[in-house]
Amino acid sequence: MAEVAIRTENLSVSFAGFRAVDGVDLSVEAGTIHALIGPNGAGKTTCFNLITKFIRPSSGRIWLGEQDITALEPDAVARLGMVRSFQISAVFPGLSVLENVRVALQPTLGVTFQFWRSNRILRRLDDQAMALLDRVGMAAVAGERAADLSYGRKRVLEIATTLALDPSVLLLDEPMAGMGAEDVAMVANLIREVGRNRTILMVEHNLSVVADLSDRITVLQRGQILAEGSYAEVSSDRRVIEAYMGEEVTDA
């Protein structure tokens, strides 16, 4: 058996009686790119929120590698090496592009609680931050306020910030939503590249990207796993085609 990076068992959560995620047993193999797809409202983001501990499950357990993380806080999960991005772009709008990445790097200096020290020390991180920005093609806008970026570029910045933590497990919630074609190609390459030595769980509606990148796909519908397998297996599954009402999956 290959090593498992993320595992959930009977993961469920209800919002006012509505079971948004309902008994999900998910297993993501270490070192693979795993896609989580499904129609709008299927519970994909809610799954992410559960796995990263931003919401508490009504029942079920979650493991990160060997460790049971069911009772942990979101920041603790991040420190264990599982970092997520958000469906709605999550940057620090008032900070510059460079500062956005730099703040994520700050814990490596071990100075985050030092209130008596000048923040000039953070300049030591500038090269590293610039290298990350360069990697996503944003070095030229390093001095701009994140708030002034286009939506797509904010998403790219968010990915750069996530990568700054050098996580071993990445959860990306629709990383390409709202991006221009150029950035989609760039981010797809980036995901492939960083996915070589990490585990990536990704929600994405762009099915050609999913087909292209993922080793394995889980299809979610109404909070439950509908199908699972390679792209070829999943896209030929009758129930999946029905779930997508025959549109996207068949012509992808």
Helix (H, G, I), strand (E, B), or coil: what is residue 81?
Answer: coil
Q: Where are the beta strands (DSSP E) in 123-242?
A: 169-173, 199-203, 216-221, 224-229
138 is a contact residue toward other proteins (CB under 8 A)? no
Does position 127 bind other proteins by CB under 8 A?
Answer: no
45, 85, 214, 218: residue in contact with Mg ion (rule CB under 5 A): 45
CB closer to ligand ATP, 65 vs 178:
178
Nearest one of 51, 72, 55, 53 to 9, comparing CA atoms: 51
93 binds other proteins (CB under 8 A): yes
The amino acid sitting at 136 is V
86 contacts other proteins (rule: CB under 8 A)? yes
Residue 230 makes contact with other proteins by CB under 8 A: no
* Minimum distance of other proteins from residue 182's CB (angstroms): 21
Q: Is 99 in the site for other proteins (CB under 8 A)?
A: yes
CB nearer other proteins, residue 92 or residue 231: 92
The residues near 158 (Cβ < 8 Å, ≥ 6 apart) are 85, 86, 89, 90, 91
Closest CA to 186 of 217, 205, 164, 159: 159
95 interacts with other proteins by CB under 8 A: yes
- The length of the chain in residues reads 252
Question: Cα–Cα distance between 104 and 163 in angstroms, integer?
Answer: 9
CA gyration radius, the chain = 19
Binding window for other proteins (CB under 8 A); candidates: 23-31, 57-65, 102-110, 208-216: 102-110
CB 58 → Mg ion: shortest distance, Å? 19
Judge contact between 33 and 209, C-beta under 8 A: no
Residues that bind ligand ATP (CB under 6 A): 15, 20, 38, 40-46, 87
Interface residues with other proteins (CB under 8 A) are 52, 54, 73-75, 78-79, 83-84, 86, 90-96, 99, 102-104, 106-107, 109, 111-119, 121-122, 142-143, 161-162, 165
